[in-house]
Chain A
Amino acid sequence: DAGVIQSPRHEVTEMGQEVTLRCKPISGHNSLFWYRQTMMRGLELLIYFNNNVPIDDSGMPEDRFSAKMPNASFSTLKIQPSEPRDSAVYFCASKGRSGNTIYFGEGSWLTVV
């Protein structure tokens, strides 16, 4: 079975450009999460959705970050405009209705220069 699929795997962009990260959760899962991982701050939850509805976006660092989930099989995390301090690995993860296991994708490695 396919796991959580993220794209792109790697992206290098210039400061000020818009960045869009994409995620396809595991089929049948109803919770979707966006995490960010850096050496300085570790793994942090940015936002999560239940049944395509954003439930908690308190981890989103600032208004330059936005996330959408237009349907159960797709989500985006957008950064506009991007800054060098946004360089990190961004993980998407999903969870089914029951149980406590969150499944992570392989991550999108973002470098803003």
Chain B
Amino acid sequence: TQLLEQSPQFLSIQEGENLTVYCNSSSVFSSLQWYRQEPGEGPVLLVTVVTGGEVKKLKRLTFQFGDARKDSSLHITAAQPGDTGLYLCADSNHPSGGYNKLIFGAGTRLAVHP
């Protein structure tokens, strides 16, 4: 059974700081997705990465996929209070289920204080 470990579990920072959160898998990712879940809401997809070494940018967020496709990082530059939430990584768990059987990590809970 694949295990996804996310670190740190909790992160509390001030507005304007930079941060990086990590996702590591016990086996090679089929493809990896990052989600953000705001309090009281459902998760929202941020990005999908498929190729080892891939880097994607979404405004102040930079996503990196490890060369061996067993780890990923999410870097946020100049964090803002609106970045507050639970950041989840998920594996698509190919080929058995396509994107229909996502396996989620426990998440990193980020709080950005004004």
| Chain A proximity of B50: nearest CB distance (Å) | 9
A45 contacts B101, CB within 8 Å? Answer: yes
Q: Which residue of B lies closest to A93 (CB)?
A: B42
Assembly CA distance A102 to B102 (angstroms):
10
Let me know if A91 and B42 touch, CB within 8 A: yes
Q: Give every chain B residue within 8 A of A50 (Cβ-Cβ).
A: 100
Chain B window 22-66, contacts with chain A (Cβ cutoff 8 Å), 1 for yes, 0 for no:
000000000101000000111111001000000000000000000
User: Is there a chain B Cβ closer than 8 Å to A31's Cβ?
Assistant: yes
Main secondary structure of the interface of A (DSSP, over half): strand
A34 at interface, CB cutoff 8 A: no
Measured CA separation A104–B105 after assembly (Å): 17
Residues of B within 8 A of A (CB): 31, 33, 40-45, 48, 88, 92, 97, 99-102, 104-107
List the 10 closest pairs (A to B, CB-CB), nearest first. A104-B42, A43-B104, A100-B99, A42-B106, A101-B45, A91-B42, A104-B43, A48-B100, A100-B48, A105-B42
A interface residue numbers (CB < 8 A to B): 4, 31, 33, 42-45, 48, 50, 55-56, 91, 93, 95, 100-102, 104-107
